[in-house]
Amino acid sequence: MKILLTLATILLALTLNAQKISGTYFEGPDSISINNNHVKFSMRGNDGLGVVFTGEGTYEIIEDFIIINTATYSGKKTKIETNPAEKKDTIQLQLFNEDGFSIQGVRAEFLNRKNKTIDLKISDDHGIVFYKSNPRIAAIKVSDLLYDKTTFDYEANTDYTVHLVKNRVLEDKIVIFKLEDRTDTVLTVRLLSTDFNRSNPSTSHLRKLEKKTEAIIDRARLFEKPEY
C-alpha cells in the first residue's frame, strides 16, 4: 500500500510538472500572474485577518511545490521620510496610510544592534509616537496587523514619517505553495509559507513544512484563468 501511495505521488508530481504554467489566475480579489520564469501575486493569508501578501520574483517547481524567490516589488510600497529632529532629546514617528490618514495603534519597536527590542510604543490617535532618544537604539521596527511592516536604521537627531501600505509586501523572501492540481485554466494551491527559512529547500524540507502546516491550513485555493 505504501509503495502504491508513493508511486501515485510521483506520478502526480510528474503530471503537474509536465504542464507549463502561464497567464493570470484569480480567486476573488486574489491573483497569481506567471510569465515565463517571473511570477507576481497578491493573496490573503491563512489567518482570516484579511492581511494581503504581495510580491514578485522568480520561481521553480520541485515535485508538487512552487518555490518563489521574491525580489524588489514594483507596486506600491511603504515609504519612509526623514526630517531633522524637532527636539534633540526626542524621537518622533508619524504613521500614515497610503492615502495620508494617520494610523492609530501601530507598534513601534526600538531595537539595539543585536536586533533585540529595547522598548515598545503604540501610536496615538494622531498616528504619532514620541520616544526619548537613547544611544543604544540602532533601528526602529513598525508593524500593524492590517498594514505592511518595516524596519529601518535609526540616525540620531532624526524624526521619521512612515507611510504604510495596506498590503504586506514580501521582498527577499522565500514563499512556498503546495500545488494540489492544475489544468490549462485552473491552479489549485495551498499557501504554506510567506517566509521560509531555507534558501535552497529540498523535497524533504518541503514535505516537513507541508506536514507542519496541515492542521492550520484547512483549505486549498482555486485560482481560475478567465476566458476572454
For the record, the C-alpha cell of 38 comes out as 517571473
Report how far residue 216's alpha carbon sits from residue 197's, in angstroms, rounded to the nearest whole number: 19
For the record, the C-alpha cell of 159 comes out as 524624526
Report how far residue 178's alpha carbon sits from residue 84's, in angstroms, rounded to the nearest whole number: 48
pLDDT on residue 215 = 80
Mean pLDDT of the region 146-172: 95
Whether residue 12 has pLDDT greater than 70: no
CATH T-level topology, domain 79-166? Immunoglobulin-like (2.60.40)
Closest-CA residue to 31 (of 55, 49, 51): 55
Condensed to tens digits (0 to 9), the pLDDT of residues 107-124 reads 999 999 999 999 999 999
Name residue 97's amino acid: N
Any idea where the domains of the chain sit in the sequence?
Answer: 2-71+169-224, 79-166
Condensed to tens digits (0 to 9), the pLDDT of residues 58-87 reads 999 999 999 999 999 999 999 999 999 999
Name residue 214's amino acid: E
pLDDT on residue 11 = 43
pTM across the whole model: 0.82
In angstroms, the Cα distances linking 46 to 152, 168, 189, 193 are 27, 13, 12, 10
